[in-house]
Chain A
Amino acid sequence: MKLHEKILTHYLSCTSPVDKEGYLYKKERNATYHRRWFVLKANLLFYQERPADRHLLGVIVLEGCAVRRVESDGRFAFSLVFEGPGLKTYRFAAVDVQTQESWVKALLSASHCYLSLLVRDLGRQYEEVKQQQSLGQPHHCSSVGALEETTSGLLPRPMDVVREGRNFSASTVLPAHSATTRAKKSPKLWPRRNALVTPLNKPAPQYSEWPLVGFDPLEDFRKIHDYYGQEVKKAREEWLRSRRAAEEQQDDGALIKLG
């Protein structure tokens, strides 16, 4: 069977981040272990001799395999066991227990099937939460959201008003200082939050676009995407303008014309 390699290598080298990479020992047919540089991206495990190498030695498609920790030779070993008649088992060894654990964890959640189930599950949860929301159920304000405000000096304003309404017209732009007017809005309005996606275990990213959702038919999705893009653009322009104005005032102390 022909595997169109160029498509895989192109995907590997494209801009989306890699899920994990590092040295591991791979057990070869003659039972010796060879150190290889592994790169995990999506459900593909690539390997090469060294990180800088252009030439890839191989790839393992991670579907239909179990990840097992192995107590063997006193090494920090684990294996990928493909379940099916005549299918392979790939054996690996790490240099320490942390590396072993880290790889086992990463590989356990690597398959497309796994991700598919996860997305389905979260999608359902999301719909439920939204339903509860519209029924006016109490909502728990997370303190994490407040934290993000401190790092948000560079960021566009939140788009919460937009989210709760069905209004998709591009002309509804949040004014820069809307804190006071918000109180008059619908009680369903969520407390002000950063437009940025809440980072859960890492510092907030500096800038973001809302991730895409493939829920609705493609037409609506494109509309949503375009709409948010416009909002962000407008908010950013406003912020840039006000920041430039502030800077200029600091520098000259003279009257500055805006725009």
Chain B
Amino acid sequence: MRFNEKELVFLSRQPSEMAAELGMRGPKKGDVVKKRLVKLVVNFLFYFRTDEEEPIGALLLEQCRVEREDSQSFSVAFLDEAERKYLFECDSEEQCGEWIDSIIKASYEFMRKNLIFYRTEIHRLTGKDPLEQYGISDETRFQVSNGLQLTPRDAASL
């Protein structure tokens, strides 16, 4: 699958609040912990070999589960496969907590849900749609139904 690599590499070089050297271990059997410069930019987690300009790889932080593994490390699992787990080792419990929090909040879907919540609440409380001033009230991505996910149980009650 083609992708805009140059543009993505350029993105990875943008300033980020969450960038640090962490121990990183890949999901495959036999993968070992390696020191990597891990950087969170928008909803991507880039990882570099220390002092290299181009990242080794980019992980999209959507539909992933972030979990604390122990006091100083966390994992990110993709594709609902527990085996596809990346492990990250931090220097402190505090740093670990910050990373977990940041990664969760970086997800586009997470942000979308928040937006829809604020939009609905503000509208409920003031009678005004806060997105009108931006001219984006009609955009599908910001619609109320977009932030909701029906579980099988819920649908059965209809």
Partners in one complex: yes
Q: What is the bound-complex CA distance between A150 and B124, given in angstroms? A: 17
Residues of B within 8 A of A110 (CB): 141
Q: How many pairs of A and B residues are in contact by the CB < 8 Å rule?
A: 229
Q: How many residues of B contact A (CB 8 A)?
A: 75
State how many angstroms separate the Cβ of A170 from the closest Cβ of chain B: 19
Q: Which of B1, B101, B120, B136 contacts A197 (CB 8 A)?
A: B120
- Kindly state whether residue B20 has any CB partner on chain A within 8 Å: no
In A60-89, which residues have CB < 8 Å from any B CB?
A: 60-61, 63-65, 82, 84, 86-88
Q: What is the bound-complex CA distance between A146 and B77, given in angstroms? A: 44
Q: What is the bound-complex CA distance between A59 and B6, given in angstroms? A: 13
State how many angstroms separate the Cβ of A27 from the closest Cβ of chain B: 15
Given contacts A10-B78, A139-B126, contact A214 B59 (CB under 8 A): no
- Kindly state whether residue B63 has any CB partner on chain A within 8 Å: yes
Q: Mark A95-119, 1 if CB is under 8 A from B, else 0.
A: 0000000000110011111011011
A58 in contact with B3 (CB, 8 Å): yes
- Kindly state whether residue B54 has any CB partner on chain A within 8 Å: yes
- Kindly state whether residue B138 has any CB partner on chain A within 8 Å: yes
- Kindly state whether residue B113 has any CB partner on chain A within 8 Å: yes
B149 in contact with A129 (CB, 8 Å): no
Q: What is the bound-complex CA distance between A138 and B131, given in angstroms? A: 22
Q: What is the bound-complex CA distance between A212 and B105, given in angstroms? A: 11
A112 in contact with B149 (CB, 8 Å): no
Residues of A within 8 A of B78 (CB): 4, 6-7, 10
Residues of B within 8 A of A242 (CB): none
Q: Which of A2, A61, A206 contacts B158 (CB 8 A)?
A: A206
Q: Mark B94-116, 1 if CB is under 8 A from A, else 0.
A: 00000001001100111111111
A122 in contact with B115 (CB, 8 Å): yes
- Kindly state whether residue A42 has any CB partner on chain B within 8 Å: yes
**Chain-B contact segment, one of A15-23, A173-181, A250-258:** A15-23
For A133, the closest partner residue in chain B by CB is B125
Given contacts A4-B59, A5-B1, A59-B3, contact A205 B145 (CB under 8 A): yes
Q: Mark B61-91, 1 if CB is under 8 A from A, else 0.
A: 0111000000000000011000000000000
Given contacts A4-B58, A88-B4, A122-B122, contact A207 B157 (CB under 8 A): yes
A200 in contact with B123 (CB, 8 Å): yes
B60 in contact with A4 (CB, 8 Å): yes
Q: What is the bound-complex CA distance between A201 and B110, given in angstroms? A: 22
Residues of B within 8 A of A64 (CB): 7, 10-11, 14
Q: Which of A1, A20, A210 contacts B8 (CB 8 A)?
A: A1
B114 in contact with A61 (CB, 8 Å): no
- Kindly state whether residue A11 has any CB partner on chain B within 8 Å: yes
A3 in contact with B6 (CB, 8 Å): no
- Kindly state whether residue A218 has any CB partner on chain B within 8 Å: yes
A61 in contact with B8 (CB, 8 Å): yes
Q: What is the bound-complex CA distance between A2 and B5, given in angstroms? A: 9
- Kindly state whether residue A31 has any CB partner on chain B within 8 Å: no
A3 in contact with B57 (CB, 8 Å): yes
A43 in contact with B42 (CB, 8 Å): yes
For A210, the closest partner residue in chain B by CB is B117
A58 in contact with B144 (CB, 8 Å): no
Residues of B within 8 A of A59 (CB): 1-4
Residues of B within 8 A of A168 (CB): none
Q: What is the bound-complex CA distance between A108 and B80, given in angstroms? A: 31
Residues of B within 8 A of A10 (CB): 63, 78-79
Q: What is the bound-complex CA distance between A61 and B131, given in angstroms? A: 24
- Residue pairs across A and B with Cβ atoms less than 8 A apart, 7 shown, are A60-B4, A61-B7, A106-B139, A197-B148, A200-B143, A211-B120, A212-B113
Apart from A4-B59, A15-B149, A144-B123, what 10 extra A-B contacts exist at CB < 8 Å?
A1-B54, A3-B3, A7-B59, A11-B62, A87-B6, A116-B42, A119-B118, A140-B127, A214-B105, A218-B101
